[in-house]
Structure 1
C-alpha cells in the first residue's frame, strides 16, 4: 500500500492532538482539588463614579459538543440548535476606524456570576458557594461538572445569535476564564492545573465562535478571569478581599501564555482579543505597574501567535483613559482598542442622583472619550447597562444585599428606597420606569457612538430584566433598531 506523504503528516498531527487530549483529561481526573481559604468579604467596593468633576472611569458588574482546533486557528464545533437558522452569512472584516461597534456581552455563560444565574447557585444547596472558585472547592466534582455542562448547553444557544443579529447588533463579547483554556505543558512553563475550577467551557467557546461566524456577528473574546484573580470580584472567578494576580509569582506570566494559546488556537475566529477584564489598577502602584507591563508582554505574545490580522483590546484598569495616553500607539502597537466601563450605581453618592443627574454625568464622557480616542487608540464603552439601582439580587455578591434599600451593609449606608419595581420581571415595571430605562439606554448609546462603539452588559439575566438586552427588546425600552432614537441629541 502506498501512502502519500501529506496524508501521513495529517495522520500524525491527528494522533498527536488525540494524545494531548488524553494527557489533559488524565491530568484533570487525577488532580486533587485545592483547599485554599475562602474569603467571605461582603464589602468589596469597586471605585465609583463620584463627585462633580469630569469622571475618569466607571465601575464593574459584581461581581458537550465536539470540537476540533488546529494550530492555524481552523475550528469547528457541532450545534444542537433546533432553530431554522439561515445559511452561513459572510463576515467581512469590520472597519473599526469607520463603523460603530453595536454589541452585547454574553455574561454569565462561560464565567458564572451569581446575580445573572441565581438559580444555578441555589441548586448547589450550599450558601458558601459564591463563585466558580468555591463551586470547585465545595461541591462534588462530578456534580459540579454535570451542572456546568447543562448550563453551558442551555444558557446561550444558536437562537440567541440569531436574535442578536435580528436586533441590529454586530458584535458579541464573550467572557472566558483562564481555567477553561486547555493548555498543556507544551504551551507553558507554568502550572496548567485549573484547580479548584471545573474546566470544560473551551468547546462551548468554539461553538459560540462558529455560531457568530455563521450569522455574521463579530466577536470580542475577553479573558475575564486570571489566576489569582485580577480584581477580587466574583466575575473574575473568585470573590476575595485579597486578590493575588499582580503580586509576584507566576500568575501574570501564566496569563500571558494563556492568551498566546487562545490566539494560536482560535484566533482565526476572533476579531478582537481582550487581554484581561477590569484589572484592579486602583489597588496601588505595584498593581498599576504590573498591569502596564502585562499589557505590553501580552500584546507581543498575541501578535507573535496570531499575526497582525486580529485586533487587541486593553482596559483602563480603573485608572481613567487619560492614564494611558500615548500607550501602545504606533509604532509600538497597532490595531489596539481601549475598553472603558460605565456604571453609576455602586455607591450611595451615585444612587443619590436623579435620572437627569445620571444623564448629565454620563454626558460628561463626551468630553473625555472622543478626545482620548482621537489622539491615542480606538475606544469602546465595553460594559454598561440600563440599571439605575443596585437592586438586582446578589449583584454585589451572593448573600450580599443592595445599597439602594440599605441591605448591603450592617455598618452604615443609607436607605434610598424600596427595590420593588426596580428589578425582577419587567411586567412589574411602571411605564415611567421604562421611560427612565429608555433615556438611560440612549444617553449611553450616544457616548459609545461618539467613539468606536458600545457593548451592553448583558444579553440575558434570570431575574434582573433591567440588565437584560433581551428583555429590554421584549419590554420596549430597547429599540429593535439600535440606531432608532426617541431622544435624539440627548446630551445637547
Structure 2
C-alpha cells in the first residue's frame, strides 16, 4: 500500500513539470547569478570529499576492507564510537581543500566545482530515516554547514558550485560510488526513496537560493542505462516540480544514463515551445568498455570527434549539455596496442577539451586531488600543468559597436542571398536580430571575469522570447536561431 501511494505521489509530481524562468531577462544586463548559471564552466570534481572513494582517499577506511562510504562510517563507529568518527569525517572535509588550493584553482582558470554529495550529507542527515545511513546521522550533523562554507570560499574566487546528488538510497547504478555496498540501482524500484530525494532536491534549492554562485543542482549521478527509462523520467519530473517551487531559474541537471540522444528527445518533448531549465550531463570515459579497450590510443583519439555529443535529435535544439565527468585515462589493454604515452595522452586530453569547449556548456574533470601523491591521468593538477587539458580561450578584447553593426549587416546579407537562391521566403531582420542578441549576450558575459556563454540554448530561448514579445510574434524562429549561433561564433572570433 505504501509503495503504491508513493508511486501515485511521484506520478502526480512528474505529470506537469513546470517551465523555468528565462535564463536572462531580455533587454537587461545579466545578473551575476545568471552569469554563474549560464556561462561555460571549465571545472573539476571534488571527488572523495563528501562521498568517499577508497582509491582516492583511503585514511577513513582503516577499519574495513570495504570501499564505500557506508563501509567506512559503519566500521569506524563500531571501532571508536560516533563522536570520534564524526571528528575524523569533519577533519577530512575541512582539510580537503585549502586556501592555497582555492587560489590555485582561480589562477588556473577554473570557473566551477562539481561537488558530489550523498543524501546523508544534507540538512544534518535529516533525509536518512529508514535508509542505510540512518543510524549514522550524527556523524553528518555538520556536513551541510561545511558544504556551505565551500560555496562561500568558491564565491570569493568567482568560482561556481554545481551541487551533485551523487549518492542516493540503494544506488542509482551498481557502482560503489553510490556510497552503499552491493548497490544495484535499487533506487529506481523504490518510489518512496525517489519521492524523498526529489523532496530533498527541493530543500537544497530553497536553502541555497540566496547564493549567487550555484551553477545548478544535479539530481542524480550516472543513472543506470534503460531502454525504456520511465522511472527516471518520473523522478526527473518530480525533481523539477519540487525545485521550481522555490527556485524558478536554477539549472536542473539530469544524468543521460549513457545515452545522450534519449534525453535530448525527452527534454524536447517535455518543454515543447517552452523551456524547462534542464541541463543533460554526459560522462566521457574511454577506459571502461570492452569496445574502448579493444582500440589503440590513436583509434580512441580519432573516434572522439564522431562520438562525443553527436547524432542528437534535431541537432540537440533547445537542450544544453555538460560533461560532468571525464579524464585522460586510457586502459592498459589499449596501451598494449602501441603508442607514445606522453604524446598520446596530451593529444587525447586536448582533443577532449576542444570538443567539450564547443559542444557542451561546461566540463568537469575527474578528479581534483588524491590523498597520496597524484593520480596521474586521473589527476587534474597533473594534467593541467602538463598542458594535457585546455580551458576555453577567454575573450581578450571588447569588439566595438561599429564592428557589431558591420558584422551583423554582412551576416544578414549573406543569409538573405543564400536563401534567395533557394527561392525561400525569409525574414532577414529576424536572422539579424538573433545575431545581434548573441553578440550582446556574449559581450555582457565577457565583462564578468572573461566569461564565455555556456548554456547557449537557454540564452537563445530567452532572447527569442524578448523578440517575440516586442514584435508580437515571429514566424521563422529558425532564422533567429541560426543568427544567434552565427553571432556567437563571430563575437568570439572578434574578441580573441
Match of 1:299 in 2: 240
Query: Does the CA-based 8 Å contact 1:178-1:225 persist in structure 2?
Result: yes
Query: Does the CA-based 8 Å contact 1:460-1:471 persist in structure 2?
Result: no
Query: Does the CA-based 8 Å contact 2:172-2:188 persist in structure 1?
Result: yes
Counterparts of 2:206 and 2:132, CA distance in 1: 17
Query: Does the CA-based 8 Å contact 1:227-1:251 persist in structure 2?
Result: yes
Match of 2:252 in 1: 312
1:149 counterpart = 2:90: yes
C-alpha displacement of 1:133: 1.2
RMSD: 3.1
1:442–1:272 distance in 2 versus 1, CA, 3 Å: same
1:448 counterpart = 2:361: no
1:329 counterpart = 2:271: yes
How is 1:258-277 mapped onto 2 (pairs within 5 angstroms)?
A: 258-269=200-211, 270-277=214-221
C-alpha displacement of 1:475: 4.0
What is the number of equivalent residue pairs in this alignment?
Answer: 350
Counterparts of 1:380 and 1:188, CA distance in 2: 29
Report SS of the residue matched to 2:310: helix
C-alpha displacement of 1:296: 0.5
After superposition, the C-alpha distances for 1:260-302 in whole angstroms (9 at most, x for unaligned) are: 11111113322211111111134x74xx221110000101110
How is 1:171-250 mapped onto 2 (pairs within 5 angstroms)?
A: 171-182=112-123, 194-196=134-136, 198-199=139-140, 200-250=142-192
After superposition, the C-alpha distances for 1:115-139 in whole angstroms (9 at most, x for unaligned) are: 2113442xx1321x32111223222
Query: Does the CA-based 8 Å contact 2:41-2:362 persist in structure 1?
Result: yes
Match of 1:434 in 2: 342
1:278 counterpart = 2:222: yes
1:466 corresponds, among 355, 374, 377, to: 377
1:213–1:417 distance in 2 versus 1, CA, 3 Å: closer
Q: Which runs of 5+ in 1 are unaligned?
A: 1-89, 390-403, 405-414, 419-429, 485-492
After superposition, the C-alpha distances for 1:69-117 in whole angstroms (9 at most, x for unaligned) are: xxxxxxxxxxxxxxxxxxxxx95532766x4321111111111111211
2:45 corresponds, among 90, 105, 126, to: 105
1:116 corresponds, among 38, 45, 56, to: 56
Q: Which runs of 5+ in 2 are unaligned?
A: 1-30, 395-496
1:304–1:475 distance in 2 versus 1, CA, 3 Å: same
Match of 1:126 in 2: 64
Report SS of the residue matched to 1:94: helix
Higher Cα radius of gyration: 2
Counterparts of 1:161 and 1:369, CA distance in 2: 38
1:384 counterpart = 2:326: yes
Counterparts of 1:344 and 1:224, CA distance in 2: 21
Query: Does the CA-based 8 Å contact 1:110-1:175 persist in structure 2?
Result: yes
Instruction: Name the stretch that deviates more: 163-172 or 111-120.
Output: 111-120
Query: Does the CA-based 8 Å contact 2:283-2:326 persist in structure 1?
Result: yes
Normalized against structure 2, the TM-score is what? 0.64
Counterparts of 1:374 and 1:277, CA distance in 2: 21
Query: Does the CA-based 8 Å contact 2:253-2:279 persist in structure 1?
Result: yes
C-alpha displacement of 1:442: 1.1
C-alpha displacement of 1:190: 7.9
C-alpha displacement of 1:152: 0.6
Counterparts of 1:172 and 1:237, CA distance in 2: 20
Report SS of the residue matched to 1:380: strand
Match of 2:107 in 1: 166
Counterparts of 1:256 and 1:366, CA distance in 2: 30
1:101–1:321 distance in 2 versus 1, CA, 3 Å: farther
1:138 counterpart = 2:79: no
Counterparts of 1:336 and 1:249, CA distance in 2: 22
Identify the structure with the greater helix proportion. Answer: 2
C-alpha displacement of 1:233: 1.5
1:231–1:259 distance in 2 versus 1, CA, 3 Å: same
1:461–1:453 distance in 2 versus 1, CA, 3 Å: same
